[in-house]
Amino acid sequence: MGKKEREEREQERETFYEKRQKQQFKYKAIGIGVLAGIVAVLAISSYNFYQLSTQVVPQGMPPGAGPLGGVNIHAGILTMIYGQQFDYSSPAYQVKSRYIDFEKSDGDTIHMHAANVTLGFLFNSLHIGLTDKCFTFPDNRNFCTNDKYNLKFFINHHQLQDISNYVISDNDRILISYGNENSTQINTQLAKLDSFTLS
């Protein structure tokens, strides 16, 4: 093998290695870019999940509400479903809005911190659907008026058709009752509600 052939072979080898190194560098750069993209997507997803799980909802000022901190009004609430008391004291229902909420692990007292905030806004912040006919939990369990059972609302012993647009006054007593209770059983629920000490 002549000198010229050896030089040509070495040059081919060097060219091959250069091409291979460039190709490897290209693949590494693509791999790093893809990995960086995945990390960015995971970071954004984690941040969004954290924001959604910890933020006060719904955001923004309720329609027609007064300034935050303008009032400090308390009302008692009792929700009875098939004769069982629903518990708003669990963390899932505590301080979900700065305007109106349950707080201090108390599920019997509604705290309103701005004027003109409706009960509909409170339940919306808890992700509980409330209409004149249905009470709907976040897991889509519905308690709706039908042939057997009725959804009933009482405020200060007066029965109302709908409470979603109601704005509480200090020391109001709100009963939401779902079932087929007679008037004696409703009076027992109202008496229990009247016995609450608001905090």
Shared domain for 51 and 143, answered yes or no, is no
Shared domain for 81 and 133, answered yes or no, is yes
pLDDT band of 32, cuts 50, 70, 90: confident
Give the mean model confidence (pLDDT) for residues 159-173. Answer: 97
CA 153/CA 199 separation, integer angstroms? 22
**C-beta neighbour count of 80 within 10 angstroms:** 21
Q: What is the pLDDT of residues 37-90, one digit of tens each?
A: 666 666 665 555 444 444 443 456 799 999 999 999 999 999 999 999 999 999
Shared domain for 50 and 77, answered yes or no, is no
Tokens encoding 26: 């290209």
Tell me what pLDDT residue 199 has: 82
Q: Considering the domain boundaries, does residue 68 fall inside one?
A: no
- The count of structural domains within the chain is 2
Q: Considering the domain boundaries, does residue 60 fall inside one?
A: no
Shared domain for 31 and 80, answered yes or no, is no
Q: Considering the domain boundaries, does residue 65 fall inside one?
A: no
For 95, the 3-state DSSP assignment is coil
Tokens encoding 122: 């409170």
Q: Considering the domain boundaries, does residue 22 fall inside one?
A: yes
Please report, as a single letter, which amino acid is at residue 13: R
Shared domain for 50 and 84, answered yes or no, is no
Shared domain for 160 and 88, answered yes or no, is yes
Sequence-distant (6+) residues with CB within 8 A of 132 are 151, 161, 162, 164
**C-beta neighbour count of 74 within 10 angstroms:** 17
Give the dihedral of Cα atoms 74, 158, 81, 187; nearest 10 deg: 110
Q: What is the pLDDT of residues 6-27, one digit of tens each?
A: 666 666 666 656 666 667 666 6
Q: What is the pLDDT of residues 116-135, one digit of tens each?
A: 999 999 999 999 999 999 99
Under 8 Å between Cβ of 160 and 153: yes
Q: Which domain holds residue 32?
A: 1-55
